[in-house]
Amino acid sequence: MFTIKRLIYYYYEKKLKREVLKKKVPLHVGIILDGNRRYAEAKGYSSISYGHKAGAGKIDEVILWCIEFKIKVVTIWGFSTDNFNRGKDEVVSLFDIIRAKLEYYINSDFINKNKIKVSIIGKKSLLPEELKSVIKRLEDKTRTYSNLHLYIALGYGGRQEICDAFSKFIADNLYKIINVSNITNGTVPGTFSLNNPSVDLSHLSELVTVDTISKYLYTSDAADPDLIIRTSGEVRLSGFLLWQSAYSEYYFCDAFWPEFRKIDFLRAIRSYQSRQIRLGK
């Protein structure tokens, strides 16, 4: 019976692959890796860390599928800002697993032979120092690779990303804001105040645009995601790539992340290909 199931799976996967190859694949795929803890519980493991380890092991397999189908950018969500609220033991264990995975990547054939550029996005200041050190080494090592760009979101929150983008924008453009207002209103330098009703800030609409703010996002050097996949049956984004996903297509899969199969991946791509991409038009 097991052999028959494997045979059916094999031919079904081949069929899906043929269908997918007939049409355009997404350029940028975002993946919310959900269900590691429930996977561990369903398997009866003594610790949920086994689920996180299994989830970390699944990443390479899925990235290889993306390379096979010439997907150029992949963003995966490994640890959210909300995850800091989990139990201390689980958070420490998660960071240990993440650090070991990224450290392995530095000299691995998987990353270096496949020429995968790795960038870590998120509130990196919140991450442990040892992890930040590994991140820097990995990013430096892969900076010039261009076969696939892998973004790994750690300490990431969609709202936080937008706040960070605006903070950086204001820091870079504060002189323009103040200087133009001073010139317009004859304000004496040093007395500028946003609360002053005589200050004309109408010029801000020319400075603050979708394009200018987008340049300050964590993924500013990548196109917005065409397709976002979430595993484990949850039907929500939870703030993942909140700004960038305005026109993304979504696919929600029931499988827990460690059990995500190639046919699940191919179904997601096929679903994306079957939709009429309007981009708001």
Contact (Cβ atoms closer than 8 angstroms) between residue 16 and residue 266? yes
Residue 268 burial (C-beta neighbours within 10 Å; 0-12, 13-18, 19+): buried
Q: Active-site residue among 34, 36, 224, 226?
A: 34
Residue 34 is among the residues annotated as catalytic for this protein: yes
Residue in the structure block whose two tokens are 């397999």: 61
How many C-beta neighbours within 10 Å does residue 164 have?
16
Q: Active-site residue among 36, 60, 83, 221?
A: 83
Sign of CA dihedral 78, 81, 85, 91: positive
- SS3 of 121, please? strand
Cα–Cα distance measured from residue 271 to residue 166, given in angstroms and rounded to the nearest whole number: 34
Residue in the structure block whose two tokens are 């005589």: 198
Cα–Cα distance measured from residue 199 to residue 192, given in angstroms and rounded to the nearest whole number: 8
Contact (Cβ atoms closer than 8 angstroms) between residue 116 and residue 148? yes
Enzyme catalytic residues: 34, 83
